[in-house]
Amino acid sequence: MLVPLLLLAMTVQEPDENEDLPLDEAQIKTAGEVIGIEYTDDEAELMLRGVVRNLRSFEALQRRSLENGVPNSLVFDPWLGRPGASAGWAQAAPWRLPEVDVERPADLEQLAFADLATLAALIRSKKVSCVELTEMYLRRLEDLDRELSCVITFTEERAMAQAKARDEELARGEWRGPLHGIPWGAKDLLAVEGYPTTWGAKPYEHQELDHDAAVVERLDEAGAVLIAKLTLGALAWGDVWFGGTTKNPWKPEQGSSGSSAGSSSATAAGGVAFAIGSETWGSIVSPSDRCGNSALRPTFGRVSRHGAMALAWSLDKLGPICRSVQDAALVFEAIHGSDRRDVSTLYHLGARNPEKPVEKVGFFARALEESDDEDDSRAAEYRAVLDQVEALGVELVPVELPDYPVSEMMLLLNVEAACAFDELTRSGRDDELVRQERMAWPNVFRQSRLVPAVEYVRANRLRTLLMQDMAKVMEGIDVIVHPSFAGSALTLTNLTGHPTVVAPYGFREDGTPFSISFTGGLYEDERLLRFAHRWQESTEHHLKHPNL
């Protein structure tokens, strides 16, 4: 150990004995109280000069500016929960697009809520041109935005150029697939060259990035047409952005939830055919529940986050927000895959068990009990869902999720987010964010600077045990069907990286939708989507739309 200690002494010097120090022993003891440790007078005196040395180290590190896109060198891998297990990666067969024979409607706006199969059939047969469909959605989204506040930037020039190019390809007999010419919207944490990428936050209102996000590139390749960059709660929290609050199309006096606020609102309202959202802790599931969308939060690492705002490197995920599970499967097919620019996508290059039928489905017995909390348990509706699932020929198996302090473990998110936006905090520009309250990013960023690195590492080690215990739960079942916010399900599965499909299932007394969720095994996104689609085919909830 002598050489490393000598090197440490050479690089970061402790202050001289006669040097005036910026701290004293009393402050060391107070700092200990803040993190739950009691230091004696002797311990504080002994620590003092080393703590000052650490402060100087912090200052040296802070002198190197870090852009938000610089990744963490430590990469989260959900498969750590299954050490030594055989992965069995495979290439999933392409999603079979149903054959649809549909005629061009007299008014193209009648297609606003059409599924992707219908839109693809009309475009491929040239009954509707890509330009016509793009113009219709642009006009409609502009009208909707006046009430819903769901758009930050329209990308009309880019969209029309893309639509014309897609029509020219069709004239030559070239068809890129089911997303050819389909208008879509991007949550505005995705970089699009030539347009602002605001992250929904006032300090970044005029930020322009010189590249496209990976999912934008892949959807371009699939032939989709980007018509707008949609709202998100500032820095991916909630539904309040620097221009206002994004609204729920079912109840415009209510916020759409977030942080994929605009993606969910615009899709549910028929302003785009589909959208891309992101989730770190509920940001796809929650607004999809409120707005009545069918969406996929993929397994961590299945979709590249290159060009997306980083909030928490070990938790961020991108996924499709659509009007049906089948649509979500078609979009996921276009956007997933490895990308050397996002190392989290390089560990597991394929899908697991994509064609294997689902035989055993887990359910939460406790959620069948009546509850005073509407979001925690809708017992009668949950029983009805389980009856429908059982009718698909599967065995229902009661399960309980591992018992861990998962909400407390989410200090991982707060600490990583505080690091991602540390320079914003230290510059004082966090004061420009619209929400300045206890449960908002400016305050959480400041609080999280006081979380000891020891506790951050401890939470990650607990996360490893949680992943291992969750793997044991999933060994006996193929899918879990559960109320979207039942117990610890949403938090726990974000920590473990498991995929979840959320889909509408009924309406509250105020006329707003609520959802059910399907959680699958790691890297079994395709299998999960197929099963959730089978269930959804037996329902009509996703076919209902808000009357705006």
257 is catalytic: no
Strands 274-279 and 183-187: parallel
> Using CA atoms, how far apart are residues 286 and 291, in angstroms rounded to an integer?
9
Beta strands in 119-273 (DSSP E): 151-154, 183-187, 225-230, 240-241, 244-245, 247-248, 251-255
Instruction: Tell me whether residue 439 is exposed, middle or buried, using C-beta atoms within 10 angstroms of its C-beta: 0 to 12, 13 to 18, 19 or more.
Output: exposed
For the chain, the straight-line distance linking the first and the last C-alpha, in angstroms and rounded, comes to 70
Q: What's the one-letter identity of residue 210?
A: D
- The DSSP annotation for 25-94 comes to HHHHHHHHHHTT-PPPHHHHHHHHHHHHHHHHHHHHHHTS---TTPPPSS---GGGGSTT----EEPPPP
Q: Please check whether residue 248 is in contact with residue 512, taking contact to mean a CB–CB distance below 8 angstroms.
A: yes
Q: Please check whether residue 411 is in contact with residue 455, taking contact to mean a CB–CB distance below 8 angstroms.
A: yes
- Assign residue 425 a region (left: φ > 0; alpha: ψ between -120 and 50; beta: otherwise): alpha
- The DSSP annotation for 114-140 comes to --HHHHHHHHHTTSS-HHHHHHHHHHH
Q: Please check whether residue 411 is in contact with residue 417, taking contact to mean a CB–CB distance below 8 angstroms.
A: no
Residue of 187, 229, 247, 317 marked active site: 187
List, in order, residues 6 or more apart from 134 with CB less than 8 Å away: 159, 160, 162, 163, 181, 183, 225, 227
Residue of 256, 259, 324, 448 marked active site: 259
* 3-class secondary-structure state, position 441: helix
**Of 310, 273, 309, nearest in space to 294 by CA:** 273
187 is catalytic: yes
| Residue owning tokens 């506790």 | 455
The secondary structure of residue 190, as a DSSP letter, is: B
> Using CA atoms, how far apart are residues 132 and 170, in angstroms rounded to an integer?
14
Instruction: Tell me whether residue 13 is exposed, middle or buried, using C-beta atoms within 10 angstroms of its C-beta: 0 to 12, 13 to 18, 19 or more.
Output: exposed
356 is catalytic: no
H or E, element range at 447: helix 441-448
Q: Please check whether residue 271 is in contact with residue 140, taking contact to mean a CB–CB distance below 8 angstroms.
A: yes
**Of 250, 249, 287, nearest in space to 271 by CA:** 249
Residue of 283, 304, 324, 484 marked active site: 283
> Using CA atoms, how far apart are residues 211 and 216, in angstroms rounded to an integer?
10
Active site residues: 187, 259, 283
